[in-house]
């Protein structure tokens, strides 16, 4: 069977039917997202590789019995989260091999030297590194919801299903995480606003607005304030820009890891005794 690019529904149907080639293609489509999730959850590159491999093999083993009660991505992240938990218990007390910002500790230097004017490509890389380190600095419960909601694009309900918490809890943690990340990125994305006179910060409200949890009257009041407040407008624009960068994805599987994991999955899929 030939699979058109993007025909994930057809691919999933064939994979659930036992087509080994379809299983491999379907799993490959999701490997970057699972690896990013594992890296943020485990904060350890070796553990993330193990979680990716174990999750994909578990998914391959259980695809025939996947009934579609959940979205496929939700099902995969739930599997990955289970293996992340096992990795954390297995590695408890061991030093982490993953540290952000090219091996430097989070607090060892400013995220970006605001006096420089890098070109767009360099600036983009710096912002992505800064966002990644800001996410890593979050407490785990906030980091999990932000990665699943804003990096991987799951709905609040799907995030709740993966983490086993209510939608209300997801949104509460999400708003706090967004505010914390925006505050850490303020020197980069809104340097002038960072030294402006203080005023009521609308970022938490803006986050709720993005989730559709603000009524029209409150939204109109917020827009009036933003129209006359450069500081709050800069803060909300910075949050929007941050979430846009998150949605573009923060990294992919290193090529050596990708090849090693795909070999392991392929070995699992090969008929026994072939």
DSSP class per residue in 64-122: GG--SSS-HHHHHHHHHHHHHHHHHHHTTTSPPS--TTTT--TTSS-SS-TT----HHH
Residue 63 inside a domain? The answer is yes
Q: Yes or no: say if 84 and 51 are a contact pair by the CB < 8 Å rule.
A: yes
Residue 101's pLDDT is what?
30
pTM recorded for the entire structure? 0.78
Residue 144's pLDDT is what?
92
Residue 1's pLDDT is what?
45
Residue 3's pLDDT is what?
47
Number of domains in the chain: 1
Residue 105 inside a domain? The answer is no
Residue 200's pLDDT is what?
63
Q: Yes or no: say if 214 and 171 are a contact pair by the CB < 8 Å rule.
A: no
d(Cα 71, Cα 160) in Å, to the nearest integer?
A: 13
Residue 194 inside a domain? The answer is yes
Q: Yes or no: say if 144 and 41 are a contact pair by the CB < 8 Å rule.
A: yes
Buried b (16+ CB within 10 A) or exposed e, 23-47: bbbbbeebbbbbbbbbbbbbbbbeb
Residue 192's pLDDT is what?
59
Domain residue limits at 193: 8-96+118-269
Q: Yes or no: say if 150 and 211 are a contact pair by the CB < 8 Å rule.
A: no
Residue 226 inside a domain? The answer is yes
What average pLDDT values come out for the chain (274 residues) when binned by 10 residues? Answer: 60 89 92 92 89 95 87 93 84 49 33 46 78 90 93 94 95 93 82 55 82 86 84 82 82 91 93 63
Residue 106 inside a domain? The answer is no
Residue 102 inside a domain? The answer is no
Residue 101 inside a domain? The answer is no
Residue 260 inside a domain? The answer is yes
């Amino acid at each position: 069977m030939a699979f058109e690019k993007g025909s994930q529904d057809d691919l999933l149907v064939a994979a659930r039917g036992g087509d080994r080639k379809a299983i491999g293609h379907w799993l490959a489509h999701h490997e970057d997202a699972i690896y990013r999730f594992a890296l943020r959850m485990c904060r350890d590159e070796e553990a993330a590789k193990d979680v990716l491999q174990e999750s994909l093999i578990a998914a391959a083993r259980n695809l025939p019995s996947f009934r579609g009660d959940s979205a496929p991505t939700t099902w995969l992240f739930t599997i990955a989260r289970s293996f992340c938990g096992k990795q954390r218990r297995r590695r408890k007390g061991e030093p982490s091999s993953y540290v952000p910002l090219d091996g430097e500790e989070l607090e060892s230097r400013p995220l970006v030297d605001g006096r420089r004017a890098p070109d767009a490509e360099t600036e983009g890389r710096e912002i992505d590194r800064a966002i990644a380190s800001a996410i890593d600095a979050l407490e785990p419960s906030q980091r999990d919801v932000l990665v699943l909601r804003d990096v991987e694009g799951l709905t609040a309900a799907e995030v709740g299903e993966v983490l086993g918490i209510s939608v209300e809890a997801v949104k509460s943690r999400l708003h706090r995480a967004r505010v914390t990340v925006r505050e850490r990125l303020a020197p980069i994305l809104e340097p002038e606003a960072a030294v402006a006179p203080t005023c009521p910060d609308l970022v938490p409200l803006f986050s709720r607005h993005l989730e559709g949890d603000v009524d029209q009257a409150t939204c109109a009041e917020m827009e009036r304030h933003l129209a006359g407040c450069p500081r709050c407008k800069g803060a909300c624009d910075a949050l929007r820009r941050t979430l846009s960068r998150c949605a573009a994805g923060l990294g992919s599987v290193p090529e050596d890891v990708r090849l090693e994991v795909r070999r392991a999955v392929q070995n699992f899929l090969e008929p026994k005794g072939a």
